[in-house]
Amino acid sequence: MNRKPPQKPLPTSSLEILLTLAGGPQHGYGIKHEVDQRTEGAVQLGAGTLYAALQRLEDAGLIEETGDANEAQGTSRWRYFAITKVGLSRLTVELRRLQTTLETASALQLLVRSRDQ
């Protein structure tokens, strides 16, 4: 039986970028801002981390650069990114993995205990 080896978990930065782009195309600063707000500052993507992660995700075919409304006029300074079908599939796999982890922790009542401590 040939089973595919399980995929490694996505780095937090990649997970957050894919999650953001699942809501629609966005430019780098918009991704940074949305991640900061959604995580209440727990995940902050510096420029180096953000753009290196965007490049890795693009190289892996999980996201693609896309145009924006101002591009046709030649006035856009922003690079917009969109999640690909492959990226959405990879995000779904990662979210299922995290869900399984949370269900296990819940069954062990670890989440309840951590709030009580």
Asked, for residue 60, whether it belongs to a domain, the answer is: yes
The total of structural domains in the chain comes to: 1
- Domain of residue 94 covers 12-116
Q: Is 73 helix (H, G, I), strand (E, B) or coil?
A: helix
State the CATH number of the domain containing residue 52: 1.10.10.10
Q: Residue 77: what pLDDT?
A: 73
Q: What is the pLDDT along the chain (117 residues), one digit of tens a residue?
A: 566 667 889 999 999 999 999 999 999 999 999 999 999 999 999 999 999 999 999 999 999 999 765 554 455 677 899 999 999 999 999 999 999 999 999 998 887 754 445
What predicted TM-score, i.e. pTM, was given to this entire model?
0.83
Q: Residue 37: what pLDDT?
A: 96
Question: Is residue 77 packed enough to be buried (19+ CB in 10 Å), middle (13-18) or exposed (0-12)?
Answer: exposed
